[in-house]
Structure 1
Amino acid sequence: MKRSSRARTGATATMAVLSLALITGCGGGSDGKDTSEGSNEGSGKASSSPTTAAKALSAAELEKLLLTQGDIKGFKVTSGDKTLLKSKSEIKTDKAECAPLAYAMAALAPGETDANASNTVTQDTASAVASKSPEDLSDADIENAFQVKLTYVGLSSYQGDGAEKALKAVSDGVQACAGGFGIAAQGEQQKITKIAPAKASGSGDESVAFSVDLTADGESTSTTTQVVRVGSTVATYYTVSFGKTAEVPEAVLSAQAAKLA
């Protein structure tokens, strides 16, 4: 009973953090702008040549490139997730240079484009635990059964060198926003306490990654965001998991990269 009580409490707290992170952990620029200029330092693979002749895909075309159920084993894919924010106008940050990071966390385009599509991918930890015999279950297995690991996946597409500029804005933002920033969405206020470079996936033509420390309902958590450019398309991945640093699952990165190749 004691173990079950802890599990239920953990699950409730997890969903509270996930909900607040989705609504208020994804901010936009206070002046409505979503990019900033600066050095292209960061934790990703640098672009060797601009795709100045690139053509942007439409939102409908991007929708077809998103992961769907069956594309990735052990994960549930939710297309048309109504909990995802649809517009940058819904969110604000107190530092304009941090807006690209916030947009990436919200599965919105980190650069200047209206061509955007998004969905959510949830790791099916409960099924993995359910496949075991009761006598084989450990405390870690039971905790994992209530561990929600949710990844917001966003695709955006750009004309000319817009995709490179979007990656640069994210890379610059990681440096400029190291001390954190304030965000607001739908009347809720939130504080990101720290931004730090993280190990990028190295996939695509260039990639940038950053970790995010935030506090929600008195609970602290760390999340990771990956931003990957493939030609004129930018893929963003923001993973949330309660109680420990949430890394973007390699399986999600690989499966989405395969659809963009």
Structure 2
Amino acid sequence: MRTALVRRSVLAASAVSLTLLATACGADKADTKADAKPSTGAPAASAAPAAKAKTDAELTGLLVVQADLPEHVVKPATPAEAAAAAGATSDKPECQPLVKAQSMAPVGSAAGTARTKAVAKGKEPAADASPEDKLKAAMNALGATATSVTLSSYEGKGAEEAFGIIKKAGTACTGGYTGSQAGDSLKITKLAPGAAVTAGDEALSYTVVGDADGEKLSMELVVVRKGNTLATFSALSLTGTAEQPKAVVDAQVKKLG
């Protein structure tokens, strides 16, 4: 059985998938019928000019929304999730930045923060699909990758420094660490380079392997810096293996300008 920490994270991000399942059932009734250096994107030729840090409200206006991701269901993070993120910790101080990045918490001294979640939609069944096929499609949707998106803005070179802190943690924590939140914990057994990401001024990615009460979890973590804003993307799936959320990353970075 998965730990409560993982269960909360997955179920919060996948609540929409459960709604889709209920909708499908209802519709059928009605019809009656080594040193793991992270994969790093090439830095831009010139860094973006320094700009004033954005507030929570300004960052919220830059978050991806439903119209940006038609193949996903987008829902804002709740105040409770934001509060829980603030208490996320690691058993190894050097790995704390990774736990924060995975938990929708800002790294470093951010002046503003905003959060949202995007769940990939499963393949839509045909309009004339049988009740069984519709139910199967809804069940498959439960295994879709759910991505938590966090934007953090900094004064001066704060974003560059926060990016560097995460990168340093990625080098130091390849052998694993334990993340804790609200009294629950998840053991990370391995941190390895993820698929290369080319976005923003600089980017890095990791595949994060965890052990949730004996069940293997393979999660994806992507970090992108655009000017003085840092965007983190933490992806997981109920099936245990998440895909790198490329569509979410691309759409979010595009909105950052």
Please give the range of the TM-score, normalised by the shorter of the 2 chains: 0.7 to 0.9
34, 40, 43: which is aligned to 1:44? 40
228, 235, 245: which is aligned to 1:232? 228
- What does 1:1-261 align with in structure 2 at a 5 Å threshold? 17-19=6-8, 42-45=38-41, 47=43, 53-86=50-83, 89-125=86-122, 128-129=124-125, 131=127, 133-134=129-130, 137=133, 144-261=140-257
1:122 maps to amino acid: V
Shift of 1:202: 0.8
The residue number in structure 2 matching 1:32 is: none
What is the count of residue pairs matched by the alignment? 232
Aligned mates of 2:128, 2:224 — CA distance in 1: 36
After TM superposition, the runs of 4+ consecutive aligned structure 1 residues lying more than 6 A away are 12-16
1:67 maps to amino acid: V
Shift of 1:79: 1.5
Specify the SS of the correspondent of 1:128. Answer: coil
Is the Cα contact below 8 Å between 2:195 and 2:244 reproduced in 1? no
1:95 maps to amino acid: K
Specify the SS of the correspondent of 1:65. Answer: coil
Is the Cα contact below 8 Å between 2:125 and 2:137 reproduced in 1? yes
- Answer with 45-54 or 226-235: which moved more: 45-54
Is the Cα contact below 8 Å between 1:103 and 1:110 reproduced in 2? yes
Is the Cα contact below 8 Å between 1:204 and 1:230 reproduced in 2? yes
Shift of 1:96: 1.5
- TM-score, scaled relative to structure 2: 0.78
Specify the SS of the correspondent of 2:155. Answer: coil
Aligned mates of 1:15, 1:74 — CA distance in 2: 28
Percent of pairs with identical residues: 34
Q: What is the alpha-carbon root mean square deviation over aligned residues?
A: 3.1
The residue number in structure 2 matching 1:8 is: none
Aligned mates of 1:136, 1:146 — CA distance in 2: 16
* 5+ long unaligned stretches in structure 2: 13-36
Shift of 1:140: 8.3
**CA separation of 1:68 and 1:52: change in aligned 2, threshold 3 A:** closer
**CA separation of 1:206 and 1:182: change in aligned 2, threshold 3 A:** same
Aligned mates of 1:238, 1:155 — CA distance in 2: 12
**CA separation of 1:14 and 1:187: change in aligned 2, threshold 3 A:** closer
Q: Cα deviations across residues 147-189 of structure 1 (Å, max 9, x unaligned)?
A: 1421000000111111111111111111100011122211112
* 5+ long unaligned stretches in structure 1: 1-11, 24-40
